[in-house]
Amino acid sequence: MGAMAGALAISANAAVNVIPKPSFVDEREGFFQIQGRITDNVRFVQEANIPAESYRLIVAPAGIYIASSDEAGKFYAMQTLRQLISEDGKVPCVTIDDTPRFKWRGILFDDCRHFFGKEELKKTINAMALNKLNVLHWHLTEDQGWRIEIKKYPRLTDIGSVRPGSPLPVVLKTPGNEDHWENNNIPYGPCYYTQEDVKEIVEYAAKRHITVVPEIELPGHALAAISAYPELGCTGEQFEPWCRWGVSEHIYCGGNDATIKFLEDVLDEVCELFPGPFIHIGGDEAPKTVWATCPKCQKRIADLGLKGEEGLQGWMTDHFTKYLAAKGKRAIGWDEVLDGEPGKDTIIMSWRGPQGGIKAAARGNDAVMCPVDPCYIDNPQGLKDDPYEYINYGFQATLERCYSFNPTAGIPDDQAGHILGGQGNNWSEYTWNGSELEWKMWPRMCALAECLWTQPENKSWECFKARIPAMRQRLIRELHINCAPVE
């Protein structure tokens, strides 16, 4: 009688409460009582006909059974199981069949504008794993800082990882005067990852079935590198890593063979460090003002019959896509690279809106969707009192708005296969430390994770709202994440 009453209480109280929501859930009465370590209670079976990353989880009073065809599926079953266990070690009886909607479920981590370090990366990776996110897009080079050790070019980190100051943290820009930035004049750096650090992070992520995709920006967002090696730019001028936010017009010289060789050398070392199949080569926000008057750039355009400066960027994208392909890697570029008419192998990351991804899919390129609205989670989240709300690009990326994300919106069915998935982008101009970084990421990344894992017909904002408080508590208690409230 006591056991039955307990079973009914579990069934009533501990409704299956999992994020992202699984494909199929059949909940029954009763529970399994965990004794000792979870893994000792669980029987694993490999079933070849279960799709990649997918699993079946059966919980019965006598035991727990997990089937998958691969290690990732098994891992995700365990993440679901973690969320089912009550504080007293009871797991409700249930059958779950689960499979992800998209294979790219990511977070962009910007370590350049501010630097967060290995422990913060590991915390992020742990929270990603719990939410079945599987791509860490690691933004490592910028106007404001170069953050990865390259053995052949030590000045990249000696010089490029230190900027003489940063914009003041409150009033950053004089309205109407884009060029006026108040500088705190406090040197920021040196801060970067050694190659040993990179290997440690890549390995830590791999154990959690997360692929790390490094981003080495070209031809723009390059002022830190040009400060270290002025000959990489068009003018040869000596600069310092930038002390303001925005986009520098001083970009890599596209006409200088030595600059192309430098970038190849950098990519050689990067490809060795990152065993995953993708290398992001940036391509966004590259002003062509300096190229327009650079003799070397103009000569390359004339010699190759390129369509002006956009054609020169297109040539660079094409060159490095092929260079990486020869090393077995696929190049990714921000949606601006479409202006240079890239080859079909280049993956397009659509950020200025969904249009880049729509255009990419129509011309036969694969795409990852991360439109500013709602995927830029450095935007305000619409809380009543948000201590970390500094900027507003004209909308609030509320939890509900994030939950409305559909990566294939506007994509014809026969092109939807080109959409690999999507990601939340957490740019760090206005994020000074790890605590703020976490606040902006969570719980909004839980909402985006469900958009990327769960089929649209299984999604419901009301249902998500009911499930998110438990996940929030788990992020806070188990992973020590500074998770924003749910209002």
Binding site for Zn ion (CB under 5 A): 234, 253, 255, 294, 296-297
Smallest distance, Zn ion to C-beta of residue 262, A: 13
Residue 213 φ/ψ, nearest 5 degrees? -110, 110
Smallest distance, Zn ion to C-beta of residue 163, A: 24
Smallest distance, Zn ion to C-beta of residue 261, A: 14
Question: Please, which residue, 2 or 295, has the CB nearer to Zn ion?
Answer: 295
Which long-range CB contacts under 8 A does 182-191 form with residues at least 24 apart? 183/243, 183/244, 187/162, 187/163, 188/115, 188/145, 188/162, 188/163, 189/115, 189/145, 189/161, 189/162, 189/163, 189/241, 190/157, 190/158, 190/161, 190/162, 191/115, 191/117, 191/145, 191/147, 191/161, 191/162
**Tokens read off for 479:** 């992973």
Smallest distance, Zn ion to C-beta of residue 286, A: 12
Question: Please, which residue, 148 or 234, has the CB nearer to Zn ion?
Answer: 234
Strands 90-98 and 55-60: antiparallel
Question: Please, which residue, 147 or 250, has the CB nearer to Zn ion?
Answer: 250
How many angstroms from the chain centroid is the CA of residue 204? 16
Smallest distance, Zn ion to C-beta of residue 219, A: 9
Question: Please, which residue, 148 or 232, has the CB nearer to Zn ion?
Answer: 232
Smallest distance, Zn ion to C-beta of residue 305, A: 17
Please, are residues 277 and 329 in contact by the beta-carbon 8 Å criterion? yes
Question: Please, which residue, 279 or 301, has the CB nearer to Zn ion?
Answer: 301
Question: Please, which residue, 253 or 471, has the CB nearer to Zn ion?
Answer: 253
Smallest distance, Zn ion to C-beta of residue 298, A: 8
Rg (alpha carbons) of the chain, rounded to whole number: 24
Contacts of residue 332, Cβ cutoff 8 Å, sequence gap at least 6: 213, 278, 279, 280, 281, 346, 347, 348, 349, 368
Question: Please, which residue, 3 or 258, has the CB nearer to Zn ion?
Answer: 258
What residue type is 142 in one-letter code?
Answer: E
Question: Please, which residue, 312 or 402, has the CB nearer to Zn ion?
Answer: 312
In this structure, the dihedral spanned by the alpha carbons of residues 228, 231, 236 and 239, taken in order and rounded to 10 degrees, is -10
Smallest distance, Zn ion to C-beta of residue 297, A: 4
